[in-house]
Amino acid sequence: MVSKKKGLGVLAMVLVFGMTVAGCDIFTNNNNNNNDDDDYDQDPLAGLAKIDLVGAASLFIAPASARGARNANDRLFKITDEGAVLEVAYEDDDGNPMTVTQAPSSITVLNDDFVVIDFGIPGNAHQNIFLVNSRTGAAYIFPIGIVDNATLNVGMYAGERIAHDDKGNIYFIGNTVGESRAVLIRLAITDPEKVTTTIVTVPGDGVSSFAVDKDGNVAYNGHNSNNNWLARFRYFNGDLEMLSTRDGGFTFWTGFNGKLYYFDFTDTITGTSDSSVIKEILTEPFSVVGYGNNDWKEQVYNGYSTYRGFLRIKTPKRIIAYLQDNMVEVYNEQKNNATAIPLSTFGLASIKLAAVSDDHYFLTGASNSGTASRNVLVKVDPLDNSYVTLLDGGYDISTMTVGSDGSVTFNALRLSPYGQVMGTVSSPDDLKILDVALGSEVTVLERIR
């Protein structure tokens, strides 16, 4: 077996106009990266070639035992389609079992074939970030940090902070060597040993939110080198256009038609009469036009146009933006308009988490009924906003993920008997608590297929 850890090569880090950034082919010898053998021997993950994700439907990070200390004792677990919970096993270059004591810190799903698992420790000379084939478990060095921050694009693209174009490229906000700010990165995986990346953002720009259209054109906002807010549109070929902006930025999303849209509450602030809070970006030629009659804007404007996330339902086609205290259906295939959805429609006072299956969406938060607030989980039919309550109190859900079939996997604090649990639920009478002992809430829960 070819060593994927010691066999470092060159991961091309290329700016849009072809300037090379410090980077290397990820699979030649470590000496090409100025690492000597002593460095290699001190690396606790040296020789790691496989992270066994075979059969996994979801992954989560949690202490290895109910008494384990959080973070320092965190381990990687997988949940199978049958509901079995297994600690993930590791193998070295020769296919032998390998003990990994370094705690994982994050999991990022890139697509149906690859995930990124970060074992990095701040200040550690070894980044220990791996690109992993989610079907075979083959692991490869991935020396790019993917920003995992609640304010950075989380919730975009059906709960993920990852975007794709029709060319097969992957986009995310990340950190690279030599960049002091979070930048927008375009990733192409022709095969795991020939991964190339392109920094899409203008040098000096830091990114807080972005979206990508079907042709690989991007819109993003953030701060420039002078720390002023900005919003830009960048064509795949590198050409630039500026978008009008204000402090607080915009929230962008991609429509089912592959075009880019964003909220712009500037007219609400200035008191002008334009009712088109939603803007559509046209590319040939470049222009920005209003979309729909947005007479709901006074109901949802809260001083910023940054939404917590977007829910993309495939059947029927819907795109729903949500905040803690409101929701807006920004796309409905039956009508060319946007509609505010009161949370009272679902018996909710606030939203804590949201996720989607192919044909429903799921909300957890505080109920608005009764004298005492309780946490509930509801399943919503986007066709008519009818809903079913899956969990009515008793569980304070901290993380959840949903399969295409509507099965919800969650981590929650169970009130009675008291304790942290992992569970699955697909209907009000189909709650299952999984056989795993947890001393604290899981730090990450991701469905990988």
Residue holding tokens 């066999």? Answer: 7
Torsion of CA 299, 300, 302, 303, to 10 degrees: -100
| Alpha carbon distance 277, 268 (integer Å) | 8
Angle, alpha carbons 20-23-29 (nearest 5°):
135
DSSP 8-state assignment for residue 346:
G
Angle, alpha carbons 325-311-155 (nearest 5°):
75
CA of residue 95 relative to chain centroid, distance: 31
| Alpha carbon distance 274, 277 (integer Å) | 8
All structural domains of the chain with their residue ranges: 348-449
Q: What is the DSSP string of 28-85?
A: S-GGGGT--HHHHHH-TTTTEEEE--TTEEEEEEEESSTTPPTTTTEEEEEEETT--E
* C-alpha distances out from residue 237 to 96, 111, 198, 261, 317, Å: 46, 24, 12, 20, 30
Question: Other CB atoms closer than 10 Å to residue 158's CB: what's the count?
Answer: 19
pLDDT for 178: 63
Torsion of CA 61, 66, 71, 77, to 10 degrees: -20
Furthest-apart CA pair in the chain: how many Å?
68
pLDDT for 13: 37
* C-alpha distances out from residue 297 to 133, 154, 211, 402, Å: 44, 23, 22, 30
The β-bridge partners of 409 are: 401, 424
* C-alpha distances out from residue 335 to 95, 251, 331, 332, Å: 56, 22, 8, 6
pLDDT tens per residue across all 449 residues of the chain = 334 543 333 344 333 333 333 333 322 222 223 334 444 446 778 899 999 999 999 999 988 655 444 466 789 999 998 889 999 999 999 999 999 988 898 888 888 999 999 887 544 434 688 999 999 999 998 867 776 543 333 333 323 478 899 999 999 888 766 667 788 889 998 878 778 889 999 999 988 888 999 999 999 988 888 888 889 999 999 999 998 766 556 778 899 999 998 877 665 544 454 556 788 999 999 999 887 665 555 544 544 445 677 889 999 999 998 877 788 888 888 876 778 888 999 999 999 999 999 999 999 999 988 766 799 999 999 999 999 999 999 999 999 999 888 999 999 999 999 999 999 999 999 999 998 888 788 888 999 98
CA of residue 243 relative to chain centroid, distance: 25
Is the sign of the CA dihedral 16, 21, 26, 29 positive or negative? Answer: positive
pLDDT in tens, 357-378: 999 999 999 998 876 679 999 9
Which pairs count as long-range contacts for 169-172, CB under 8 Å and 24+ apart, including other chains? Answer: 169/216, 170/110, 170/111, 171/200, 171/210, 171/212, 171/218, 172/108, 172/110, 172/146, 172/147
Q: What is the DSSP string of 99-164?
A: ---SPP-EEEE-SSSEEEEE---TT-SS--EEEEETTT-BEEE---EEP--TTSSTTHHHH-S-EE
Residue holding tokens 């905040």? Answer: 323
| Alpha carbon distance 195, 14 (integer Å) | 11
Q: Which run of H or of E encompasses 269?
A: helix 266-270
Residues 6+ apart with CB under 8 A from 55: 78, 80, 81
pLDDT in tens, 27-43: 222 222 333 444 444 67
| Side chain identity at residue 145, one-letter code | G
Compute φ and ψ for 58, nearest 5 degrees: -140, 160
